Structure 1
């Protein structure tokens, strides 16, 4: 007989900035505060026995603080975190990288800098911060930074390269990446003229696929919530992909549903459909 029980996620994959944390108006950074509604919704997922996995473009060291604010390991288990847009997967606490994909970024970085010679370049320095070609705008990179030559930064394979041009727009970078082709390299454009270069085939979806294989969870049983271009593959891959209310149209169009904005706790509202607070109902189709 077919299973007639209503669908309920076995794993909830959550973007951070613009999904769990609210943006600081006009800046490329988030308020590092989790609202009570979001915190409580995440706890209900954990209480049910389902998994919660943070999935972000952030570096690992910028994600563990958010995990702490959410009390993700409150049940005593090491949690899974998908960082660097899927290139790095770690367990926490303590932070332990269990999967990483790297690539030779030299050609792609050179091609981008040929078109945007004044752009800033950053490569993660594991557990510390970033090596940068020059200082980034305040608040855009977490952790400490140290200045280095671009050639030195990409001399060895890396998991991710950030290229940022404060003088350009997101649309400039979308056109740039499409025109360059960037053979052997994948890319995603951020909220502004921010370009993440990554190994081919690597995305939040590929990182989550690795986690699901370890946990024995089918992608059909995954609820994913996000708001950015770097969430598109994840939302398409998951059994249910939900865009935040303030997401750009490109993200909303591929999502299965759209929830409220981050300012209105949209992630908590979506989670509440499947993991309702006592007395609130839920489990809607």
Structure 2
């Protein structure tokens, strides 16, 4: 349901986002149909709209499930940094890691014991791929993931080693299952003590309890002196739901599943129709 108080030309005159939080895959970057990965290219209308927001004085924050090293290239593509601007605030790993860039300087990191959850999931999906972030390098994995699904180096290791200590994020991927399989599995297991998010495919992100893009953004907003009522957030995935609900205006991309659309204040055009540019032009056009 759209909050009319945040519609352009509404009675809340003069409202303009002071913080713009943008998801990456499926929001800034277009999905490769059937490929499970995105084109690493920013559409010119999106680039221009983001820079109009910057020129108006808004803080642009990238917020993604990606690891830190998988987000800096997108910041570079958008030219979000430079001598005339402060260093970026970036929320990575679904909120578990908050860092400044450039260079990468981790400001906050949340970790947890993932072993019980991983073991429980593997009982139901014994052939699943498991990855744990190695910040600044890549991932430790039990087997190689499909090309393009992870960024950085993949180092092979046994499951026992992968979850032997505290981690900020775990990815579980089963190419032989569906997203719906993982949704049902999460509901059945309960997965107590952690947060979990199911992606577009049979892709499960595990994070510390209470950690989400929203918690990471709340930390950044506090540093910037911006309240959530002055934030605009745009995303397309289940891992964006808390972020869309946290922001004064949360906007779902047009291709988002119903669960995400229902959590948002409004729905913009799809990523294939440059929905980010359409939404930003409402406020910075």
TM-score per shorter chain, which class? over 0.9
Q: In the alignment, which residue of structure 2 is the partner of 1:205?
A: 214
Please, what TM-score do these two structures have when normalized by structure 1?
Answer: 0.95
What are the Cα deviations for residues 236-261 of structure 1, in whole angstroms up to 9, with x where unaligned? 11000000001111111111100000
1:270 aligns with 2:279: yes
Q: In the alignment, which residue of structure 2 is the partner of 1:38?
A: 46
Q: CA deviation at 1:5?
A: 3.8
Q: In the alignment, which residue of structure 2 is the partner of 1:239?
A: 248
Stretch moving more, 82-91 or 72-81: 72-81
Q: In the alignment, which residue of structure 2 is the partner of 1:110?
A: 119
Which whole-Å CA distance do the structure 1 matches of 2:257 and 2:226 have between them? 29
Report the secondary structure of 1:134's partner residue. Answer: coil
Q: In the alignment, which residue of structure 1 is the partner of 2:141?
A: 132
Structure 1 segments, 4+ long, off by >4 Å, are none
User: Structure 1: where are the runs of 5+ without partners?
Assistant: 277-285
1:15 aligns with 2:23: yes
Q: In the alignment, which residue of structure 2 is the partner of 1:47?
A: 55
What count of residue pairs does the alignment treat as equivalent? Answer: 274
1:218 aligns with 2:227: yes
Q: In the alignment, which residue of structure 2 is the partner of 1:280?
A: none
Which whole-Å CA distance do the structure 2 matches of 1:256 and 1:144 have between them? 38
Q: In the alignment, which residue of structure 1 is the partner of 2:187?
A: 178
User: Structure 2: where are the runs of 5+ without partners?
Assistant: 1-10
Q: CA deviation at 1:4?
A: 6.0
Which whole-Å CA distance do the structure 1 matches of 2:146 and 2:250 have between them? 32
Which whole-Å CA distance do the structure 1 matches of 2:98 and 2:160 have between them? 26
Please, what TM-score do these two structures have when normalized by structure 2?
Answer: 0.95
What are the Cα deviations for residues 108-144 of structure 1, in whole angstroms up to 9, with x where unaligned? 1100001111100000111111110001111111111
160 and 4 in structure 1: CA distance in 2 versus 1, 3 angstrom threshold: closer
Q: In the alignment, which residue of structure 2 is the partner of 1:123?
A: 132
Q: In the alignment, which residue of structure 1 is the partner of 2:3?
A: none
- Kindly report which structure 2 residues correspond to 1:248-267, keeping only aligned pairs within 5 A, or say none: 248-267=257-276
1:58 aligns with 2:88: no
Which whole-Å CA distance do the structure 2 matches of 1:100 and 1:45 have between them? 28
Q: CA deviation at 1:27?
A: 1.1
Q: CA deviation at 1:28?
A: 1.1
Which whole-Å CA distance do the structure 1 matches of 2:99 and 2:36 have between them? 25
Which whole-Å CA distance do the structure 2 matches of 1:89 and 1:106 have between them? 23
Which whole-Å CA distance do the structure 1 matches of 2:22 and 2:184 have between them? 28
CA RMSD of aligned residues (A): 1.0
